[in-house]
Amino acid sequence: MAKKLICKACGHVGKPARKTRGNLLIEIILWICFIVPGLIYTIWRCSTRYNACKACNATELVPVDSPIGQQLVKQYHPG
């Protein structure tokens, strides 16, 4: 099970969304028209995946159980 993370930007707590840079449509077109550029683009897209906040797409996520995470929980979710 993935650790819960808190977003520094919006305070959302939960599992991050896994995002991939680039555009799937461009990838498909490159594969259909040109095999080598399609392969290069696919490798680039797969190597640039990152975790992002599900609410705001920010990339600054910290574990809830870390000291900074606990401060953010108190700040965004008092009580």
pLDDT, tens only, 36-47? 999 999 999 999
Entry pTM: 0.77
Q: Are 27 and 9 in the same domain?
A: no
What range does the domain containing 79 cover?
1-16+53-79
Q: Are 61 and 77 in the same domain?
A: yes
Q: Are 11 and 32 in the same domain?
A: no
Task: Count how many domains the chain has.
Answer: 2
Q: Are 30 and 11 in the same domain?
A: no
pLDDT in tens, 29-70: 999 998 999 999 999 999 999 999 999 999 999 999 999 999
In degrees, rounded to 5, the angle at the alpha carbon of residue 18 between the alpha carbons of residues 15 and 19 is: 140
